[in-house]
Structure 1
């Protein structure tokens, strides 16, 4: 029994020694630099707020997907699922969106293949700032950095007002022109 315990421990130790260290694995895999991350955030900003097919073709990977429950609520799609499951669906949807001012407030994290950023957009009828957080997953499968995944959430109710929509909350109606209280009940 003792022999098998010692043998198992020695086997585990020798296999751990054979594994490359975290630093060696990161060096073997290409990781984003901060200047590359800044450039890619600018590309994301254009893809979302000033779309062009040329940009999407070049910078969205072939296995691209976009997730956003904020957008899924507008599209009446199930929460938690892909908003735009393919590059083609994303491109077709973005082509319909008019340009708007998306301001990147900060790039909060840059990891080997991930970027996290905060942004806001103020536009439309209500001119209220809708704040959002986006995580980008990137790939260098083709030799150049491309966006593989966009995962974004934002204040969808403010966005709705900016688009000219309205909503009712606890008896008050919120619209681009302001809040209207419901008449008091006797």
Structure 2
């Protein structure tokens, strides 16, 4: 029995040694078929701060530069605000904004909120970042993943070099309870302290 196990482990080790596991294969695994290059660390920071500019100092022209055609956005935090106080389970886990136009129209209607970037990480075609939004008297932490693609139109996208990047898909979550507290006077079902008073059943 011990001889069989030893032989099996030797064969397994030989198989693994023959596989091209290394930095090159990892990079290829992160690449997508429609991308000819990978976003740099510096350009990833530009994308993250660019999204922050949409939140803090919105302009339609900047939105057209940073956001790709065919953009989609998914955020249960935003869905919670949109559907309060009648939020149900079926409101969550869905696309929040299905088009670039609907997203930009939604952001245009919101007051600007100071944005500060905390951390940024990037893979070949995605930027992950942590941030703080600072509405009056609060500091709201959030985290987001922005999938990016090379800009297809001249004059659009951000980047230090000749390759420019736009956000094509966005996933973001933040402390929406702060906004529920701020909006308590206009949401039926919240008391003066911003606590939701409707009955909630926890399974």
Alignment partner, residue 80 of structure 1: 93
CA contact (8 A) 2:76 2:173 kept: yes
2:139 to 105, 129, 134: 129
TM-score, structure 1 as length reference: 0.71
- Please say if residues 184 and 192 of structure 2, whose CA atoms lie closer than 8 Å, have aligned partners that are also in contact: no
Larger relative strand fraction: 1
Q: Which residue of 2 aligns with 1:22?
A: 25
Q: What's 1:7 paired with?
A: none
1:141 positional shift: 5.1
Matched residue of 1:39: which SS? Answer: helix
Q: Quick one: which of 48, 53, 56 aligns to 1:46?
A: 53
Shift of residue 122 of structure 1? 2.0
Whose relative contact order is higher, 1 or 2, with alpha carbons under 8 Å and at least 6 apart? Answer: 2
User: Contact (CA 8 Å) 1:67, 1:84: kept in 2 or not?
Assistant: yes
Show the counterpart of 2:201.
none
The Cα RMSD (Å) is 2.8
Confirm whether residue 115 of structure 1 aligns to residue 135 of structure 2: no
Mapped contact 2:54–2:62 kept (Cα < 8 A): yes
Aligned twin of 1:139: 149
Closer/same/farther in 2, CA of residues 38 and 167 from structure 1, 3 Å limit:
farther
CA distance in 2, matches of 1:128, 1:24: 40
Q: 1:24 & 1:130 partners in 2: Cα distance? A: 34
Structure 2 counterpart of 1:8: none
Q: Which runs of 5+ in 2 are unaligned?
A: 1-18, 153-162, 196-203
